[in-house]
Amino acid sequence: MKFSCTQENLNQGLSVVSHIASKNINLPILSNVLVRCENGVLKLLSTNLEIAISCIVRGKIEDAGEFTVPSKLFSDYVALLPKDRVDVSLDGNSLAVSCASYKTTLHGIPASEYPLVPTIERRHRIAVKVGDLRKAIGQVLFAVAANESRPEISGVMMKFVNAQDGLKIVMAGTDSYRLAEKIIPANKAKSTEIMDPISVIVPSRTIAELVRIIGVFKDETDSQDLEIHVGDGQLMFSYNNCEIISRTIEGKYPDYRQLIPDRFETEVVLEKDELMRAVRATSLFSRIGLNDVHFSFSAGQPIHVASKNSQTGEHSVDLEGAVTGKNNEVTVNFRYFLDGISNIDRETVLVQLNDAMSPCIVRPASSEHESDYLYIVMPIRQ
């Protein structure tokens, strides 16, 4: 194996693939990156047996072959090289790397011992603008359950559906105390036809890796398309000569839509920044562990936000807002509430509820009260 490429290209490729390589006592080779020269193409690949990431690097191939070397060491070393041509060749069980006056030898493991990376049957292809997907991930990933005691909510639900106004991607994350949903348009012209809705649960680590890799190509435009391929028990994201193949989580995602009533007893429109400031100030006096903040809504009256702690004191503030419907009140976890509000990209927010025991719905305010973003926070029962 022998190839040459620029330091910038090799460094970018290693930045993409090296992150998931981890130490494994049973399989030490998993801490290595596979370097493969085949059919005139230089490809880097790494896997942790749940996620596999590959990246094609532009370069000149002189001899075909493949070899594995320690991922972190190779990546850290290449990052420190001058911005010049890098020459790499295989010498026995070592990889010789030279760039300008820098020369090194990396000991590795033959590629024959590297785990077989599964291929995915590309039956369903969905194209979406990378900027839309990145923003949507930021609006739902924070709500995903941090532990895997309930595997079905330890990932992001992605559903691909045909709507009246085109192909849509519905994304949702929940930890059973709050839930975030975002709907974004897909490029129907570049996607395969989807007759029936397709739903998968993608591990949160896979989604986090996707965001990180998109960030590696930060100079690229957000209007570029990213392709999603859905197979049996697997999902692949393809973007900019990079591919992420991941297992999907088995199980049925909660039917959260049944939590959303057809109508609400109380609807409140508030200015977003003022609401966040008031909640943050009130939260300083919430009870430790509960993080409780109490809202009181009365038609024709200011919105009352209050909290009381027997050790530190109490606080209340009145906010201007428009209340329609009957008088109501609710107590929520201020951290969960602020998480949802901060991800709303409009100046005003709409809060909807029926009573103090029912889920509180938060979404961007609009004239039709319809939006592509929805947040549900469960109340604290008094």
Tell me what the mean pLDDT of segment 323-340 comes to: 97
Co-location of 216 and 316 in the same domain? no
Of 114-118, 170-174, 328-332, the poorest mean pLDDT is in 114-118
Indicate whether 185 belongs to any domain: yes
- How confident is the model at residue 368, as a pLDDT? 53
Domain endpoint, select from 80, 113, 146: 113
Tell me what the mean pLDDT of segment 99-104 comes to: 96
- How confident is the model at residue 367, as a pLDDT? 58
Co-location of 135 and 242 in the same domain? yes
* In the predicted structure, residue 34 carries a pLDDT above the cut 70: yes
- How confident is the model at residue 141, as a pLDDT? 97
Tell me what the mean pLDDT of segment 63-79 comes to: 96
Co-location of 311 and 236 in the same domain? no
SS3 state of residue 300: coil
SS3 state of residue 362: strand
- How confident is the model at residue 370, as a pLDDT? 55
Co-location of 351 and 276 in the same domain? yes
Joined together, the tokens standing for residue 278 give 């008031």
Tell me what the mean pLDDT of segment 24-39 comes to: 91
Q: Which H/E stretch holds residue 358?
A: none
Indicate whether 254 belongs to any domain: no
How big is the CA angle at 114 (ends 211 and 119), to the nearest 5 degrees? Answer: 55
- How confident is the model at residue 339, as a pLDDT? 97
Confidence band (pLDDT; 50, 70, 90) for 270? very high
CB-based contact 318:346 (threshold 8 Å): no
Tell me, what CATH number does 173's domain have?
3.10.150.10
Co-location of 353 and 284 in the same domain? yes
Alpha-carbon distance 332 to 323, whole Å? 18
Percent of all residues in the chain with a pLDDT value above 70, rounded to a whole number: 99
* In the predicted structure, residue 59 carries a pLDDT above the cut 60: yes
Alpha-carbon distance 90 to 177, whole Å? 54
Co-location of 55 and 138 in the same domain? no
* In the predicted structure, residue 369 carries a pLDDT above the cut 50: no
* In the predicted structure, residue 199 carries a pLDDT above the cut 80: yes
- How confident is the model at residue 12, as a pLDDT? 96
- How confident is the model at residue 21, as a pLDDT? 87
Co-location of 233 and 299 in the same domain? no
Domain endpoint, select from 247, 274, 303: 247
Indicate whether 16 belongs to any domain: yes
SS3 state of residue 321: strand
SS3 state of residue 12: helix
Question: CA nearest 152: which of 236, 262, 255, 44?
Answer: 255
Co-location of 137 and 229 in the same domain? yes
Alpha-carbon distance 66 to 88, whole Å? 12
Indicate whether 99 belongs to any domain: yes
Domain endpoint, select from 64, 93, 113: 113
- Find how far residue 94's CA is from the centre of its chain: 37
Indicate whether 382 belongs to any domain: no
User: Per-residue b/e over 39-59, b at no fewer than 16 CB within 10 Å?
Assistant: eeebbbbbbbeebbbbbebeb
* In the predicted structure, residue 378 carries a pLDDT above the cut 80: yes
Co-location of 212 and 132 in the same domain? yes
Tell me what the mean pLDDT of segment 169-177 comes to: 97
Indicate whether 168 belongs to any domain: yes
Number of compact structural domains in the chain: 3
pLDDT, mean over the chain: 94
Co-location of 129 and 210 in the same domain? yes
Read off the pTM. Answer: 0.92
Indicate whether 299 belongs to any domain: yes
Co-location of 89 and 19 in the same domain? yes
Co-location of 108 and 134 in the same domain? no
- How confident is the model at residue 148, as a pLDDT? 85
Confidence band (pLDDT; 50, 70, 90) for 102? very high
* In the predicted structure, residue 175 carries a pLDDT above the cut 60: yes
Tell me what the mean pLDDT of segment 119-135 comes to: 91
Confidence band (pLDDT; 50, 70, 90) for 110? very high
Residue-number span of the structural domain to which 287 is assigned: 260-377
Indicate whether 252 belongs to any domain: no
Tell me what the mean pLDDT of segment 340-353 comes to: 95
